[in-house]
Structure 1
Amino acid sequence: MAKEAEIKNLSLASVMDERFSRYSKAIIQERALPDVRDGLKPVQRRILYSMNKDGNTYDKGFRKSAKSVGNVMGNFHPHGDSSIYDAMVRMSQSWKLREPLIDMHGNNGSMDGDPPAAMRYTEARISKIAGEMLRDIDKGTVDWVLNFDDTEYEPTVLPARLPNLLINGATGISAGYATEIPPHNLGEVIDALLYLQGHADATLDDLMKFVQGPDFPTGGIIQGIDGIKQAYKDGHGKIMIRSRSTIEDLRGGKKLVKVTEIPYEVNKSQLVKQIDEIRINKKVDGIAEVRDDSDRTGLMISIELKRDAEVKGILNYLYKNTDLQVSYNFNVVAIKDMRPQRLGLKDILATYLDYQRSVITKRTKFDLDKAQERQHIVEGLIKALSILDEVISTIRSSSNRKDARDNLMSEYDFTEKQADAIVALQLYRLTNTDVTKLKKENADLAAKIAEFKSILANPEELDHVLADELRDLEEEYRSPRRSTIEAEIENIKISKKVVVPDEQVMVMVSRDGYLKRSSIRSYKASELTDNGLKDEDRPVFIKQLSTRDSLFIFTDAGNLVYRPVFELDDVKWKDTGDHISQLSGIDSNEKVLASFAFPNLKEQGNFVITTKSGHIKQTEFEKLLPGRTYKSRATVYEKLKDELDSVVDVEYIPNGDASDILIMTEQGLALRYSLSEVSVNGARTTGAKAISLSKDDVVVNAQLVNENSPLALVFQNGNFKKIKTNEIPVTSRARKGVKVLRDLKTRKNLLANFVRINPDDQILTIYTDRLNGHDVILEEHGFSNRTSNGNPEVDVKIDGVPVSINHQPVATESDEITSLV
Structure 2
Amino acid sequence: MSSEPPVDPSDVRAAQVEHVRIEEEMEQSYIDYAMSVIAGRALPDVRDGLKPVHRRILYAMHEMGLTAGSGHRKSSSIVGETMGDFHPHGDAAIYDTLVGMAQEFSMRYPLVDGQGNFGSMDGDPAAAPRYTEARMAPIAEELLADIERDTVDFSPNYDDRLEEPDVLPAAYPNLLVNGSTGIAVGMSTKVPPHNLGEVIDATVELIENPDATVADLMRHVKGPDFPTGANIVGRNAVRKAYETGRGRVRVRAEFETEEFDGDRQRIVVTELPYQENKARLVERIAEDVNEGVIEGISDLRDESDRDGVRVVVELKRGANVEVVKNQLVEHHLETTFGVINLALVDGQPRVLSLKETLEEYVEHRKDVVTRRTEHELGEAEDRAHILEGRLKALDNVEDVVETIRKSEDRDEARAALRETFDFSEAQAQHIVRMQLGSLTSLESAEIEEEYEEVTARIERLEEILASESELMSVIKTELGEIKEEYDDDRRTGFVEDTGTVTHEDLIPEEESVVVVSEDDYIKRMPAAEFRAQNRGGKGIIGADLKEGDRVSSVFLASTHDYLLCFTTHGQVYQLKTYQVPEMGRTARGKSAVNVLDLDEGEEITAVVNCDDIGAGTDGEDVAGGDGVGADGADPADPAAEAGEQYLTMVTRDGYVKRTAGEEFENILSTGIRAIRLEDGDELADVEVTHGDHDLVVGTRGGMAIRFDESEVRAMGRSARGVRGIELTGDDTVAGLAAIDGTQHDWVLTVTANGYGKRTDLDEYRTQSRNGKGLIDIKTNERNGPSCAVEAVSSGDHLFAMSAGGQIMRTRVEDVSTIGRNTMGVKVMDLDPDDLVASVDVLPAARVEDGDESGA
TM exceeding 0.5: yes
Write the distance in 2 (CA, Å) between the matches of 1:275 and 1:711.
Answer: 46
Counterpart mapping for 1:688-703 below 5 A:
none
| Aligned-partner residue type, residue 234 of structure 1 | T
Deviation at residue 626 of structure 1 after TM alignment: 8.0
| Aligned-partner residue type, residue 71 of structure 1 | E
| Aligned-partner residue type, residue 122 of structure 1 | T
Question: Is 1:763 equivalent to 2:779 in the alignment?
Answer: no
Contact 1:245 1:257 in 2 (8 A): yes
Matched with 1:595 is 606
- Of the three residues 51, 65, 77, the one matched with 1:41 is 51
Contact 1:169 1:182 in 2 (8 A): yes
| Higher Rg | 1
- Of the three residues 340, 343, 350, the one matched with 2:352 is 343
| Aligned-partner residue type, residue 304 of structure 1 | E
- Of the three residues 628, 633, 636, the one matched with 2:672 is 633
Deviation at residue 544 of structure 1 after TM alignment: 10
Matched with 2:414 is 405
Write the distance in 2 (CA, Å) between the matches of 1:217 and 1:91.
Answer: 12
Taking structure 1 as the reference length, the TM-score comes to: 0.72
Pick closer, same or farther for the CA change 1:757–1:103 going to 2, 3 Å: farther
Write the distance in 1 (CA, Å) between the matches of 2:228 and 2:758.
Answer: 74
Q: Please identify, of 62-71 and 241-250, the stretch whose mean Cα deviation from structure 2 is larger.
A: 62-71
- Of the three residues 71, 79, 84, the one matched with 2:89 is 79
Pick closer, same or farther for the CA change 1:404–1:217 going to 2, 3 Å: same
Counterpart mapping for 1:56-95 below 5 A:
56-95=66-105
- Of the three residues 441, 447, 453, the one matched with 2:450 is 441
- Of the three residues 428, 453, 457, the one matched with 1:419 is 428
Write the distance in 1 (CA, Å) between the matches of 2:19 and 2:406.
Answer: 79
Write the distance in 2 (CA, Å) between the matches of 1:70 and 1:723.
Answer: 90
| Aligned-partner residue type, residue 154 of structure 2 | W
Secondary structure in structure 2 of the residue aligned to 1:157: coil
Q: In the TM superposition, what whole-angstrom CA distance separates every residue of 1:471-528 from its partner, at most 9, and x where no partner exists?
A: 1111111111111123526413236989xxx9996525xxxxxx95589999653397
Counterpart mapping for 1:675-714 below 5 A:
none
- Of the three residues 577, 583, 587, the one matched with 2:600 is 577
Pick closer, same or farther for the CA change 1:661–1:94 going to 2, 3 Å: closer
Question: Is 1:429 equivalent to 2:438 in the alignment?
Answer: yes
Q: In the TM superposition, what whole-angstrom CA distance separates every residue of 1:17-40 from its partner, at most 9, and x where no partner exists?
A: 222222111111111110000000
Deviation at residue 65 of structure 1 after TM alignment: 1.5
Q: Please identify, of 548-557 and 244-253, the stretch whose mean Cα deviation from structure 2 is larger.
A: 548-557
Secondary structure in structure 2 of the residue aligned to 1:391: helix
Secondary structure in structure 1 of the residue aligned to 2:482: helix
Contact 1:279 1:289 in 2 (8 A): no
Question: Is 1:260 equivalent to 2:270 in the alignment?
Answer: yes
- Of the three residues 153, 162, 170, the one matched with 1:152 is 162
Unpaired stretches in structure 1, ≥5 consecutive residues? 509-514, 529-538, 581-591, 637-645, 654-659, 687-695, 713-721, 738-749, 768-782, 791-807
Pick closer, same or farther for the CA change 1:315–1:624 going to 2, 3 Å: farther
Secondary structure in structure 2 of the residue aligned to 1:434: helix
Counterpart mapping for 1:211-610 below 5 A:
211-322=221-332, 324-431=333-440, 434-488=443-497, 490-494=499-503, 506-508=516-518, 516-517=520-521, 525-526=547-548, 542=553, 568-569=592-593, 577-579=600-602, 595=606
Write the distance in 1 (CA, Å) between the matches of 2:736 and 2:414.
Answer: 128
Deviation at residue 285 of structure 1 after TM alignment: 1.9
Contact 1:544 1:811 in 2 (8 A): no
Matched with 1:12 is 22
Write the distance in 2 (CA, Å) between the matches of 1:177 and 1:291.
Answer: 39
Matched with 1:195 is 205
| Aligned-partner residue type, residue 418 of structure 1 | Q
| Aligned-partner residue type, residue 311 of structure 1 | V
Contact 2:513 2:554 in 1 (8 A): no
| Aligned-partner residue type, residue 240 of structure 2 | Q
| Aligned-partner residue type, residue 414 of structure 1 | F
Pick closer, same or farther for the CA change 1:630–1:463 going to 2, 3 Å: closer
Deviation at residue 208 of structure 1 after TM alignment: 1.0
Secondary structure in structure 2 of the residue aligned to 1:241: strand
Contact 1:672 1:731 in 2 (8 A): no
Write the distance in 2 (CA, Å) between the matches of 1:362 and 1:724.
Answer: 99
Deviation at residue 315 of structure 1 after TM alignment: 2.0
Matched with 1:640 is none
Pick closer, same or farther for the CA change 1:159–1:630 going to 2, 3 Å: closer
Pick closer, same or farther for the CA change 1:598–1:762 going to 2, 3 Å: farther
Between the two proteins, the alignment pairs up a number of residues equal to 695
Deviation at residue 82 of structure 1 after TM alignment: 1.4
Q: Please identify, of 229-238 and 280-289, the stretch whose mean Cα deviation from structure 2 is larger.
A: 280-289
Secondary structure in structure 1 of the residue aligned to 2:257: strand
Q: In the TM superposition, what whole-angstrom CA distance separates every residue of 1:578-620 from its partner, at most 9, and x where no partner exists?
A: 447xxxxxxxxxxx9x63699999999x9998999xxx9x99x
- Of the three residues 162, 186, 191, the one matched with 2:196 is 186
Q: In the TM superposition, what whole-angstrom CA distance separates every residue of 1:623-681 from its partner, at most 9, and x where no partner exists?
A: 99986458533669xxxxxxxxx99987899xxxxxx999999xx999999xxxx99xx
Write the distance in 2 (CA, Å) between the matches of 1:731 and 1:505.
Answer: 34
| Aligned-partner residue type, residue 30 of structure 1 | G
Aligned CA RMSD, in angstroms, stands at: 5.3
Write the distance in 2 (CA, Å) between the matches of 1:344 and 1:143.
Answer: 26
Matched with 1:795 is none
| Aligned-partner residue type, residue 143 of structure 2 | M
Secondary structure in structure 2 of the residue aligned to 1:195: helix
- Of the three residues 150, 159, 171, the one matched with 1:140 is 150
Pick closer, same or farther for the CA change 1:182–1:432 going to 2, 3 Å: same
Deviation at residue 12 of structure 1 after TM alignment: 2.7
Deviation at residue 292 of structure 1 after TM alignment: 1.1
Secondary structure in structure 2 of the residue aligned to 1:764: coil
Write the distance in 1 (CA, Å) between the matches of 2:120 and 2:748.
Answer: 75
Unpaired stretches in structure 2, ≥5 consecutive residues? 1-6, 524-541, 581-589, 616-644, 676-681, 717-725, 788-815, 824-831, 843-855
Q: In the TM superposition, what whole-angstrom CA distance separates every residue of 1:307-349 from its partner, at most 9, and x where no partner exists?
A: 1111221122222222x21111011111101111111111100
Matched with 1:98 is 108
Write the distance in 2 (CA, Å) between the matches of 1:544 and 1:670.
Answer: 23
| Aligned-partner residue type, residue 377 of structure 1 | I
Contact 2:394 2:444 in 1 (8 A): yes
Write the distance in 2 (CA, Å) between the matches of 1:161 and 1:412.
Answer: 46
Contact 1:33 1:172 in 2 (8 A): yes
| Aligned-partner residue type, residue 547 of structure 2 | A
Write the distance in 2 (CA, Å) between the matches of 1:220 and 1:89.
Answer: 23
Pick closer, same or farther for the CA change 1:736–1:162 going to 2, 3 Å: closer
Pick closer, same or farther for the CA change 1:684–1:358 going to 2, 3 Å: farther
Q: In the TM superposition, what whole-angstrom CA distance separates every residue of 1:61-103 from its partner, at most 9, and x where no partner exists?
A: 1112222221111211122111111111111111111111110
Secondary structure in structure 2 of the residue aligned to 1:283: coil
Pick closer, same or farther for the CA change 1:652–1:15 going to 2, 3 Å: closer
Contact 1:504 1:547 in 2 (8 A): no
Write the distance in 1 (CA, Å) between the matches of 2:144 and 2:594.
Answer: 67
Write the distance in 2 (CA, Å) between the matches of 1:168 and 1:45.
Answer: 14
Counterpart mapping for 1:100-139 below 5 A:
100-139=110-149
Write the distance in 2 (CA, Å) between the matches of 1:199 and 1:547.
Answer: 58
Contact 2:606 2:685 in 1 (8 A): no
Q: In the TM superposition, what whole-angstrom CA distance separates every residue of 1:441-475 from its partner, at most 9, and x where no partner exists?
A: 11111111111111100111111111111111111
Secondary structure in structure 2 of the residue aligned to 1:104: strand
| Aligned-partner residue type, residue 476 of structure 1 | E
Contact 1:142 1:155 in 2 (8 A): yes
Pick closer, same or farther for the CA change 1:761–1:436 going to 2, 3 Å: farther
| Aligned-partner residue type, residue 525 of structure 1 | E
Contact 2:514 2:554 in 1 (8 A): no
Write the distance in 1 (CA, Å) between the matches of 2:298 and 2:648.
Answer: 47
Deviation at residue 391 of structure 1 after TM alignment: 1.1
Pick closer, same or farther for the CA change 1:787–1:286 going to 2, 3 Å: closer
